[in-house]
Structure 1
Amino acid sequence: MQRYFLKEDLTDYQNQPISISGDAFHHMVKVMRMKVDHRVYLVTKDQKAFIARITAIEEKEVQLNWVEDDLRQQEMPIEVTIASGLPKGDKLDLIIQKGTELGASAFIPFAGSFSITKWDAKKAAKKIERLQKIAQEAAEQSHRTKIPTIETLSSVKQLVEMKGNFDVCLVAYEESAKVGEDQNFVKGLKQVPVGGKLLIVFGPEGGLSKEEITVFLQHGFLPCALGPRILRTETAPLYALSAISYHYELLHK
């Protein structure tokens, strides 16, 4: 069944009629060709998921009624925020799409020293809006109950100022393996309690500069390697999220 996120607040979704319009209406009726009695998953703004049945299809909206709650746990036990140095081309699209499928809670693009891509301040809002739509579509596809947040473009200085918002902050640094810090990733995960918040910083193509690494370390970020191989900027966040999912959702299940 298809999944859609509701934009309106519902005070009593189990008993009140539900109306869907806009993009979701178009997708239901024009793309999926849904009819009366077809069922879909809906998710409220407070992350309650349930099955609903279409009772009527009108000119610009679909009417539905609640059928039953979906009580499956679809979210990661911890909140993982991915900070990505602006990469080239559409790599950030890929990071957000696949990172959403793998359970990330938020994404922070930042301008790194080695970032070739530059965001025009006037166009940044539209870029964030487009990336937010990618996250929503990926959340629907992967049956999430939460749409990850795409934060505004940040700097290294702003990232370190956010440290207090997280239980653990890691920075992926390929040189870490060379100095015996290949276990820091595991150590960091063990320090995050269930329900806690983790921030992981990834550099753009070319990685992070020594000056940037120094700043992160001075502010208490833990440097870590992600295995013995050098990963591309779009691969590293997906590796980390997969390992986090295994650690929290499979290993200790």
Structure 2
Amino acid sequence: MTKIEINGAQLTYDEAGSGSVVVLLHAGIADRRMWREQVPALAARHRVIVPDLRGYGESELPPTPFAHHDDVLGLLDALGVERAALVGCSFGGRVAVDTALAHPERISALALFGAPVSGHEWSEETEQLWEELVGDVDPEDFTATAAGEVRFWVVGPTRRPTDVDPELIRFAEEMDRWALAAEQALSAIEVGELDPPAVDRLGDLRMPVLAAAGAHDLPDVHRLADRIAAEAPHGTRLPNVPDAAHLVPLERPEPVNAALLDFLP
């Protein structure tokens, strides 16, 4: 674990390996620990950098305006990295896409797992699924909220909790409790958005792009992966990963690692 000052904030990151640089960006219900199965696999061939996004995990959150995609660029600058591939899951995928659009000359490739994009609005179908699977939870009760979010995202709409490894559920809930505290703090700070947002700019992603999702993830997420792969000029759609929902790299590391090693420059 290393801490480094980026744009006025102390960000925490892990680093391993040598070679071309790969930055792993975690989901919004997680932190950098979700990549624990990818780091040793990728570090055999790459220099792997795994940060906690600002406010998440062990990274701090000063009360000053910022943008996550500018923090990613700041991290590359601070570590002397000219170009890097970005691998993002869920919210980390959104940050990766925003970074690639804001600073295209610095990004060599994008690999996206269950990624939304800035400017995308969730469908009524997704909102109805939330009501059916989770319902009303007290946002101040991080334990109950984390359990609901893990039921929705990590278990997914087509499985029951008993279908999923209980250790995965326990670990995901632990990470999400931290993430919920981060999101509460972030709500009081001006967080910059990409302007214009990414949803209508996917055709500007000129680097190789891999889009993937878990087979048990939301239909919206599957459609987004389809769209990203179709609209990015050099996009590839990985078949939906079986036996996984939203945190694909954590739940199914073997096929994810194989796909990344095949795809990354």
TM-score, normalised by the number of residues in structure 2: 0.30
TM-score, normalised by the number of residues in structure 1: 0.31
Higher strand share: 1
